[in-house]
Amino acid sequence: MFKVPSVTENTTLAARRKFFDMTEEEYARLEELLSMYRSLIYNRRVLLKPLFEDFDRTKVGHISKNQFLRILTQFGLLPDKNDLNIILKRYTDKGNLDEVNYYDFCKDVDRYDEDAKQISKEHADAFKDPNNTRVGKFRSTIKNDMPNDLNDFFAKIRRICKEKRIRVSEFLKDFDKLRSGGITNTQLRLGFDMAGIQLSDAEFNLLVLNYPHESKEGYVRWRDICDAIDEVFTTKYLEKNPWGDVTEPNLGLNYGKKPLTQEEVAIAQKVIRRFTSFARGTRLDIKQFFKDWDRLNRNKVSPKQFRQVLATVGFLLSESEYSAIVRYYQSDDDHEVKYVDFINDTNIYKDLQTGNLTHVPHHTSNVPVENHYQSIYLGLGTSNYGSPVDINILMGKIKNFIKVNQLRPEDYFKDFDVLRKGIITSNKFRGVLSKMK
């Protein structure tokens, strides 16, 4: 059985036209029709081949002319009589006018197969180049973490074990049947994988270099490694020395981070002092603004969100201040800012609770210490300055202001009362009044 040349094969136009017994005008028109079909099918995202195969139960690649025309009519692809004769002349290749080669027709007009082949080829070629970024998502499970030192590595492992309540020794001791304290390097890595802790090559080599076995080459001291990790849970042999000092293990990560310069620390501390004065002067509850971006209570936001919150409350940062404060409070993954630490460091109540009045405004120096927290920051009770305000006169002013500005106080208050209890803190109450101006 001879092979019918396709319009996509590398043959000359005259040879293809001669084989199909077409004039030059007919073949040019056929190319126009096929091009039009390719465009329509591609734009409509239609797969013709499965519909043709429903009529071809024996998978011979041919269907009757009526079935062929029915499919074209179903998708609005039926041409006029002259164009239809050209198409049938091309695809009725069995010497009769009743059987149409739908297989060749689909191959000529359906670009799905071509696109799929191209995608598959690009996907296969991408893996030949290890530096190709197109396969990054397939290599996401490969760890490339670079710890600064051994303490940095243990800080990471301790945090993982503390969060997931993992005892690495439970996964390593089975490899040491005689409890000699040594296992092979391969078994060490396998044990960490079984515990759900993937190690990069740099981390694994760091362990192997620092904990080699004294007498066996290619072995590591797994007990010493586990003792260093388990410091996050307890101090070993504490029962023998109950009065001994228990130190807090290091949990801070510095993977690849550049240490803060003295200039950055000075700028960050300056921003902290400036924001403390700003928050005190405006009676600001900044945490509520951060909570709008932190729906999952992760206590972290992105640097862009951090700056946007500060700009929303009217606290603007220069580029140097923004860079310094973000690095000062950056999270362990270097992508987010720990806003809770920032709030704690700029807490306007901290000095008053500890009795330190270095930041108390100078015009309040004659007010007793015990009244600062009550009268200045929370707004509880009457003011210590000036005469008391009549509540009826005050409410009248507020009602008049709300009526003139057409405000709905409930819309402002309900954002701070998530459980709809009808009560909020005094600080939030004052913040809502400030928001309503």
Helix, strand, coil percent values for the chain (each to nearest 5): 55, 5, 40
Q: Which CATH superfamily is domain 150-232 in?
A: EF-hand (1.10.238.10)
pLDDT at site 415: 81
Half-sphere exposure for 11 (CA within 13 Å, toward CB): 12
Coil, strand or helix: which one is 331?
A: coil
Compute CA 272 distance to the chain's CA centroid, rounded to the nearest angstrom: 29
- Residue 339 CB neighbours (<10 A): 23
Bridge partners of residue 101, in order along the sequence: 62
**HSE of 290 in the Cβ direction (CA atoms, 13 Å)?**
22
The domain 13-109: what is its CATH number?
A: 1.10.238
What per-residue confidence (pLDDT) applies to 7? 45
**Contact between 172 and 187 (Cβ < 8 Å):** yes
What is the spatial distance between Cα 247 and Cα 40, in angstroms, rounded to a whole number? 73
Query: Reduced to 3 states, what is the DSSP secondary structure of residue 221?
Result: strand
Whether the CB-CB separation of 149 and 77 falls below 8 Å is answered with no
Compute the distance between CA of residue 212 and CA of residue 409 in angstroms, rounded to an integer: 69
Please report, in tens digits, the pLDDT of each residue of the chain (437 residues total). 334 444 444 445 555 555 566 788 888 888 888 888 888 887 777 777 888 888 888 888 888 888 888 888 888 888 888 888 888 888 887 777 788 888 888 888 876 555 556 666 666 666 555 555 544 444 444 556 777 778 888 888 888 888 888 899 899 989 988 888 899 999 999 999 888 888 888 888 888 999 999 888 889 999 999 988 888 887 777 777 777 777 777 666 666 667 778 898 899 999 999 998 888 888 777 888 888 888 888 888 988 889 988 988 889 889 989 988 988 888 765 578 888 888 888 875 554 444 444 444 433 344 444 444 333 333 333 444 445 678 888 888 888 888 888 888 888 888 888 888 888 888 888 888 888 88
Q: What is the pLDDT of residue 239?
A: 77
Gap between the Cα atoms of 12 and 328, Å rounded: 70
Burial status of residue 124 (CB atoms within 10 A of its CB: 0-12, 13-18, 19 or more): exposed
Q: Which two tokens stand for residue 276?
A: 């403390």
Residue pair 377/283 in contact by the 8 Å Cβ criterion: yes
Q: Where are the alpha helices (DSSP H) in 313-349?
A: 319-328, 339-345
CATH 3.40.50.720, applies to 262-348: no
pTM of the complete model: 0.39
Partnered with residue 64 across adjacent β-strands are: 99
State percent of the chain over pLDDT 70.
75
CATH 1.10.238.10, the chain: domain bounds? 150-232, 262-348
Contacts 24+ apart (CB under 8 A), 369-373: 373/349
Query: What is the distance between the alpha carbons of residues 313 and 278, in angstroms, rounded to a whole number?
Result: 10
Predicted pLDDT of residue 221: 92
Q: The tokens of 217 are what? A: 């080459």
Could you tell me the CA-to-CA distances from 338 to 145, 321, 333, 341 in Å, in that order?
Answer: 22, 16, 11, 6
Residue 406, Ramachandran bin (φ over 0: left; ψ between -120 and 50: alpha; else beta): left
Rounded distance between C-alpha atoms, residue 77 and residue 72, angstroms: 5
CA distances from 266 to 263, 306, 332, 350 (A): 5, 20, 21, 21
